[in-house]
Amino acid sequence: MERLNFPLLSNQTQTMTGSASSAQRIQRIFDMQQKHAIQLRTERIQERIKQLKKLKSWIDKNDFLIKKAIYDDFRKPEAEVDMSDIYPVLTELKDAIRNIKRWSSVTPVDGSVAYLTTSAQVEYEPKGVCLIMAPWNFPFNLTIGPLVSALAAGNTVMIKPSEMTPNTSALIDDMVGELFREEEVAVFNGEAEVAKTLLELPFDHIFFTGSPAIGKLIMKAAAEHLTSVTLELGGKSPAVIDENVNIRDAARKIAWGKFLNNGQTCVAPDYVLVHTQVKDQFLDALSVQVSSLFGGNEGLIGASPDYARLVNRRHFSRISSLMEEALQKGAKVRFGNHKDEADHFISPTVLTDVSLDMQVMEEEIFGPVLPVITYNDLHEAISIINKKPKPLALYYFGKSKKRRRQLVSSTSSGTVCINDCVIQYSHPHLPFGGVNNSGLGKAHGRYGFLAFSNEKAVLKQRIGFTSSRFIYPPYTKSVRLILKLLKKYF
């Protein structure tokens, strides 16, 4: 999941005065939150619900400000902001408000015969002071969504938004300042030095969304304090087009899922593996659907109010370099490749004749470029997928249950979606997260609550009884016999 773009080892620094002031504020608020986090352990669940309702009310009343901030950062259409930034957060809020009492309830646990005189349960306690490090691609959703889970679990939170979306980051700072005291939730805007200072602190949990490369640095920093982490990363999510697919349906869904947010989506299809028999029909249909979604022929897409922009010129240059390298190695443009650097614009682009040694097949693209590779047998597609790090998402388009089962069981991915794409992210009752290179830990709904909670085992024994009498010395013949029977039958 791209992209938190501060380089943790960057040479960029603030002035000495500014850096010292920022570090002092960070330490001061961290100390305050540590004290407050202890108080929150005994706070009533109703107080958490009040916080969440307060946050929901602010979003409901100020959605126009959210849309304006994100438009100023991306030129993203209002409907897309509603769909991809505001709606998922409101879904998280409603789900938490409805279910937090149940999630937080003590869970009784059954025991074996050896524990007949005991009672056992799992209690859910807040982890404490948590750090949320957010990316730029969905700057509101991927900051406030984890915040909902952290507050539902009863934590204090320090937030580092992305410096690459200054308008949305400023809005988040203003919103948090209106709704929370600093000892509850605090925002720290800034660049690499701020992130570095935050990561030096002994947080109780870190929730990071960004690239695998930065995720490794987050884990290294967390390891210094044995801090638990949730890493929402990314990777090259494949879409497999079977030979018995509904061409128009698959093309429309992939066109939407790939070019949503100008391709800057962690679960967007990163490349397509299409069966040779349907390659040309699929590519033709994909071109038609792109034109349908974004308004007429390719030359008009730049004027479409429904097509977002790349976040900045540096990202534009990175995507352009990936395309140029592929073309130099023999890839062909099926359609697209219209660019405007000043406008951070690249039109929806499909590349064919792509080989696995091209950079577009070696790193996550995270832009409006879709490589297409053909296969003759599903084993070929599976082999290509398995040669790469495990992706965040896997997509299958087709009608064959047998080949679908074969694909899903023969590969590993954080999520799977059949005959659609991207929508699995916002399902309120599914865990969301990657595996290995694409992430660590799960988020959303109850899974997000658990990510920010410690599942504490509690066992109560009756006074005067013990389930452990047979492990006390002396180990007589009768004790050894009873232990033998316990091992065999219980």
**3-state class (DSSP) for residue 359:** helix
Place of tokens 């079977």: 242
Q: What is the mean pLDDT of residues 66-70?
A: 98
Of 63-72, 162-171, 295-304, 475-484, the range with the lowest mean pLDDT is 295-304
288: left (phi over 0), alpha (psi -120 to 50) or beta: alpha
**Digit-coded pLDDT (tens) for 435-473:** 999 999 999 999 999 999 999 999 999 887 765 566 788
Q: How far apart are CA 138 and CA 319, in angstroms?
A: 18
Q: What is the mean pLDDT of residues 45-50?
A: 98
Residues whose CB is less than 8 angstroms from the CB of residue 283 and which lie 6 or more positions away in sequence, other chains included: 274, 334, 350, 352, 372
pLDDT of residue 448: 98
Please state whether the peptide bond connecting residue 389 to the residue before it is cis, i.e. omega within 30 degrees of 0.
no
Q: How far apart are CA 418 and CA 406, in angstroms?
A: 13
Is residue 113 pLDDT above 80, yes or no?
no
pLDDT of residue 296: 67
Is residue 16 pLDDT above 80, yes or no?
no
pLDDT band at 114 (very low <50, low <70, confident <90, very high): confident
Q: What is the mean pLDDT of residues 178-193?
A: 96
Cβ atoms of 402 and 433 closer than 8 Å: no
pLDDT of residue 137: 96
Please state whether the peptide bond connecting residue 462 to the residue before it is cis, i.e. omega within 30 degrees of 0.
no
**3-state class (DSSP) for residue 373:** strand
**Digit-coded pLDDT (tens) for 258-286:** 999 999 999 999 999 999 999 999 999 99
Whole-prediction pTM: 0.93
Is residue 115 pLDDT above 90, yes or no?
no
Domains of the chain are: 16-232+441-454 (3.40.605.10), 238-433 (3.40.309.10)
Copy the structure tokens of residue 368: 């409006």
Name the helix (H) or strand (E) containing 416: strand 415-418
Residues whose CB is less than 8 angstroms from the CB of residue 187 and which lie 6 or more positions away in sequence, other chains included: 158, 159, 160, 161, 169, 172, 173, 176, 177
26: left (phi over 0), alpha (psi -120 to 50) or beta: alpha
**Digit-coded pLDDT (tens) for 319-354:** 999 999 999 999 999 999 999 999 999 999 999 999
Is residue 13 pLDDT above 80, yes or no?
no
pLDDT band at 95 (very low <50, low <70, confident <90, very high): very high
Task: Specify the long-range contacts of residues 434-437, CB closer than 8 Å, at least 24 apart.
Answer: 434/1, 434/231, 434/232, 434/233, 434/234, 434/235, 434/390, 434/391, 434/392, 435/390, 436/389, 436/390, 436/412, 437/212, 437/233, 437/235, 437/389, 437/390
pLDDT of residue 55: 98
pLDDT of residue 9: 37
**Digit-coded pLDDT (tens) for 288-320:** 999 999 986 666 798 999 999 999 999 999 999
Cβ atoms of 66 and 83 closer than 8 Å: no
Is residue 401 pLDDT above 60, yes or no?
yes
Which residues are known catalytic residues?
232, 266
